[in-house]
């Protein structure tokens, strides 16, 4: 087995390699003067079971091209099997046609990865479960829930006073799953989205008065939804509000919003490499998903059960 990393999140890739007691495969990924990407794998991978680690986070298009070109290099170097490890699958929010003459870009990206020669995909908390069906190759879908449950239990002494809150109706199944693992109650924020990246909180469904509320979602982008939800929960009498999110996209005004918000903390995993500004924000905290992903890699390599990680 060999691990090779793109440039999207080298710290996560190194943490995964450290967990497995391995070294990352040497590779050069550079750009010509016109910004064309060039990849050269500097170790023999013939007949190897290779895991290519690359989030398709911002700049998404560059990281996708890096992934495809590295994948092509590995296949041409006669790797026996290449599993593409995508901690954060970009374009996942474009999983359907929201109107006429619009693309389903998540399917397009899945096709590109498959056509470039991937034999298998490993990813974490897809925005929409049906994206698994966009791939015509095996896909292993990991959940950040065990990491988040462990962190919550470490930071909340009285779980009986915790309420898991879905920031929108679409995330109810996700929030219910976390609430079930914690033995906590569930609440829902009913909101109306007037336009992309803008939301208005309308109502709170559930009892939050005097409770410690934990907002739970898969992606935080501009953070408008989370910050508005936090204010609405506090107005309804919540004792405190924090948020746990798998993928910290944190684009545009997100950092400023979070720093000025009433959130006690925003906890994200390291599926996406955070900027220095995000890391320095006083109420943003990172928990590592590297051990979970590394264990997934080990089990795929050993042909053992991945789903049993979540039993």
Residues that are catalytic: 191
Q: 206: buried, middle or exposed (CB in 10 Å: 19+, 13-18, 0-12)?
A: middle
Dihedral angle sign, alpha carbons of residues 295, 128, 92, 167: negative
Q: How many Cα atoms sit within 13 Å of 21 on the Cβ side?
A: 1
CA distance 62 to 41: 18
List, in sequence order, every residue forming a beta bridge with 124; answer none if it has no partner: 142
Token duo for residue 284: 């943003």
CA distance 135 to 101: 23
Pair 134, 107: CB distance under 8 Å:
yes
Q: What are the percentages of helix, strand and coil residues in the chain, rounded to 5?
A: 35, 25, 35
Residue with tokens 């290779």: 50
Pair 229, 191: CB distance under 8 Å:
yes
Question: What's the CA angle centered on 276, arms 275 and 279, to 5 degrees?
Answer: 90
CA distance 166 to 226: 10
* 59 preceded by a cis bond (ω within 30 of 0): yes
Q: SS3 for 23? A: coil
């Amino acid at each position: 087995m060999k691990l090779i990393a793109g440039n999207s999140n080298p710290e996560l890739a190194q943490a995964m390699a450290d967990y497995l007691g391995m070294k990352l495969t040497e590779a050069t990924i550079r750009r010509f003067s016109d910004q064309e990407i060039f990849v050269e794998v500097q170790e023999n991978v013939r007949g190897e079971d290779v895991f290519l680690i690359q989030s398709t986070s911002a700049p998404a298009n560059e990281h996708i091209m890096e992934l495809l070109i590295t994948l092509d290099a590995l296949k041409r170097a006669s790797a026996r099997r290449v599993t593409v490890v995508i901690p954060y699958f970009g374009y996942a929010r474009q999983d359907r046609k929201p109107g006429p003459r619009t693309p389903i870009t998540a399917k397009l990206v899945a096709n590109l990865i498959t056509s470039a020669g991937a034999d298998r995909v490993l990813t974490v908390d897809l925005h929409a479960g049906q994206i698994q069906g966009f791939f015509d190759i095996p896909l292993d879908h990991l959940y950040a829930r065990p990491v988040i449950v462990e962190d919550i239990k470490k930071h909340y002494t009285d779980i009986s006073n915790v309420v898991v809150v879905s920031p929108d109706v679409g995330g109810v199944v996700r929030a219910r799953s976390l609430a079930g693992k914690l033995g906590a109650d569930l609440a829902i924020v009913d909101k109306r989205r007037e336009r992309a990246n803008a939301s208005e909180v309308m109502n709170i469904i559930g009892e939050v008065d005097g409770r410690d509320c934990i907002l739970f979602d898969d992606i935080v982008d501009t953070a408008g939804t989370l910050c508005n939800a936090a204010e609405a929960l506090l107005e309804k009498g919540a004792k405190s509000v924090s948020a746990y999110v798998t993928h910290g996209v944190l684009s545009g005004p997100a950092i400023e919003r979070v720093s000025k918000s009433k959130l006690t903390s925003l906890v994200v995993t390291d599926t996406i490499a955070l900027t220095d500004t995000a890391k320095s924000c006083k109420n943003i905290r990172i928990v590592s998903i590297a051990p979970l992903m590394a264990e997934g890699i080990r089990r795929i390599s050993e042909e053992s059960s991945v789903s049993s990680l979540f039993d």
